[in-house]
A = this chain, B = another copy of it.
């Protein structure tokens, strides 16, 4: 399945990886806790943007295929998955 958004998502994940390494360096250097905590919140926000990209792709590819295929079982599975994500996101 070719995903046009793959390079962008990989790029974001790569940056997140770098941010986490940067936070480790801050801890290594005994940087002020609040500055480290602020960076951790920034990483979580960046992960949220990756989630948004993935959800858009999921809608356009996986959900769309289940709808077009008229596969009721698959559609139920996909709806249940989204609801489970919602429960965990709270």
Task: Name A residues whose Cβ lies closer than 8 Å to a Cβ of B.
Answer: 1, 3, 6, 9-10, 13-14, 16-17, 20-21, 23-24, 27-28, 30, 32-34, 36-38, 40-41, 43-44, 47-48, 50-52, 54-59, 61-64, 67-68, 70, 72, 75-76, 78-83, 85-90
Contact = CB atoms under 8 A, between A and B. Distances in A.
Contacts of A10: 24, 27-28
B83 A51 contact: no
5 closest Cβ pairs, A-B complex = A33-B58, A82-B82, A13-B24, A89-B89, A34-B81
A34 B9 contact: no
A85 B16 contact: no
25 contacts: A6-B28, A10-B28, A13-B20, A17-B17, A33-B55, A33-B61, A33-B62, A34-B58, A34-B81, A37-B54, A37-B85, A38-B88, A40-B51, A41-B88, A41-B89, A43-B47, A52-B87, A55-B87, A59-B79, A59-B83, A67-B72, A67-B75, A67-B79, A82-B83, A89-B90
